[in-house]
């Protein structure tokens, strides 16, 4: 099979397209013929060697995929050969075949494309867990989503609207603002403005009033996170999903105390590894919403495996809106 291989951590140039032996499924494992794999920002961190979980070298990166079950190991009951599945792994999706634990395989709806299934990947369950499991969303609450035109951002807008929330999306360009509105955001605010600290608050208050925001979902960090802290409502919840801006912010505990703020972290993969039944329920609900037309990933582009550099560079250079997919077949 063909696979993208990392022999040494570093820039994208270290990634090579090679012919490798087909993997074989062991007990409880599923061999997936991969048709599409999603590009996630953490994949770049894994390639660069800066992510919190790194596989042994050499390895093929990629955390989510969609394809057809080619074979199953002993004890597998969740799926069978021939099933069209979405699947997740810590690594290995940037290849034509990937071995995945059976509890990380989810049979796709009949009308779902491989591109959409891969693009839903970890972004949509991350959004679901951020709002419901970690954020404890209640009907009628207001949700602010930073980096709202990215993969997790678009997913969180759609999931929040499926729950009935009022959604405020923060973005850094006119193109991203249009995409956030097209995917259901009720209000859009800009982060590419002078004096972000004050301008952010002024825009949010103009949109929803001075009470502020009940739940903030933040995959950005840095200055955007700092500005967001000023618009949280009393007893509001801030869900930290990532740090795409690069700087990990620090929070003074006094701010949390004065307004009864909850600062909550989310690493979705920990739920996938520790609470598989809960993740399966969430995946089924997300697939139901897809069939009902409530959610649909925005696939900015789908590149063939041979053009992986362009696909990955689009995410690296922050030119992505929605999701980027690599087609492996």
**pLDDT tens per residue across span 228-248:** 999 999 999 999 999 988 899
Q: Express each pLDDT in 252-265 by its tens digit.
A: 898 899 899 999 99
DSSP 285: H
CATH T-level fold of 124-268: Rossmann fold (3.40.50)
Q: What is the mean pLDDT of residues 136-156?
A: 96
Q: Evaluate if residue 145 carries a pLDDT over 90.
A: yes
Answer whether 0.85 is exceeded by the pTM.
yes
Q: How far apart are CA 220 and CA 228, in angstroms?
A: 11
Q: What pLDDT was estimated at residue 176?
A: 95
Q: What pLDDT was estimated at residue 52?
A: 85
Angle at 63 between CA 59 and CA 68, to 5 degrees: 100
- Cβ 217 vs Cβ 243: under 8 Å: no
Domain ranges of the chain: 2-121+299-327, 124-268
Q: Residue 319: pLDDT band by 50, 70, 90 thresholds? A: confident
**Domain 2-121+299-327 CATH (choose: 3.30.40.10, 3.90.1150.10, 3.30.43.10, 3.90.180.10):** 3.90.180.10
Q: What pLDDT was estimated at residue 318?
A: 85
Q: How far apart are CA 133 and CA 136, in angstroms?
A: 6
Using CA atoms, how far residue 168 sits from 91, 145, 172, 200, 213, in Å, is: 33, 6, 14, 12, 9
Q: How far apart are CA 105 and CA 188, in angstroms?
A: 35
Pairing of strands 142-145, 187-190: unpaired
Q: Express each pLDDT in 112-143 by its tens digit.
A: 999 999 999 999 999 999 999 999 999 999 99
């Amino acid at each position: 099979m063909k696979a993208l291989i990392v022999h040494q951590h570093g820039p994208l140039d270290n990634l090579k397209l090679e012919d490798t032996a087909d993997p074989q499924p062991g007990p409880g494992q599923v061999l997936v013929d991969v048709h599409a794999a999603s590009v996630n920002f953490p994949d770049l961190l894994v390639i660069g060697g800066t992510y919190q979980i790194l596989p042994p070298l050499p390895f093929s990166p990629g955390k989510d995929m969609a394809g057809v079950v080619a074979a199953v190991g002993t004890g597998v009951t969740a799926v069978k050969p021939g099933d069209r599945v979405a699947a997740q792994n810590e690594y290995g999706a940037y290849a034509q075949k990937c071995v995945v634990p059976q509890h990380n395989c989810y049979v796709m709806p009949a009308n779902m494309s491989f591109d959409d299934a891969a693009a839903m990947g970890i972004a949509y369950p991350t959004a679901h867990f951020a709002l419901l499991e970690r954020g404890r969303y209640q009907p009628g609450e207001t949700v602010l989503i930073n980096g709202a035109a990215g993969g997790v951002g678009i997913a969180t807008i759609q999931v929040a609207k499926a729950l009935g929330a009022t959604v405020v999306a923060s973005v850094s360009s006119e193109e991203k603002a249009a995409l956030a509105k097209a995917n259901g955001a009720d209000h859009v605010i800009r982060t590419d403005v002078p004096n972000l600290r004050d301008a952010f608050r002024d825009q949010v208050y103009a949109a929803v009033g001075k009470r502020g925001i009940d739940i903030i979902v933040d995959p950005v960090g840095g200055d955007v996170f700092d500005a967001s802290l000023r618009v949280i409502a009393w007893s509001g919840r801030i869900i930290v999903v990532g740090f795409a801006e690069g700087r990990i912010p620090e929070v003074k505990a006094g701010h949390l105390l004065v307004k009864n703020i909850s600062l909550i972290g989310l690493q979705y993969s920990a739920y996938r590894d520790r609470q598989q039944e809960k993740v399966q329920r969430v995946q089924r609900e997300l697939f139901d919403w897809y069939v009902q037309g409530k959610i649909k990933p925005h696939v900015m582009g789908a590149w063939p495996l041979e053009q992986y550099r362009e696909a990955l560079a689009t995410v690296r250079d922050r030119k992505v809106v929605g999701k980027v997919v690599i087609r492996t077949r």
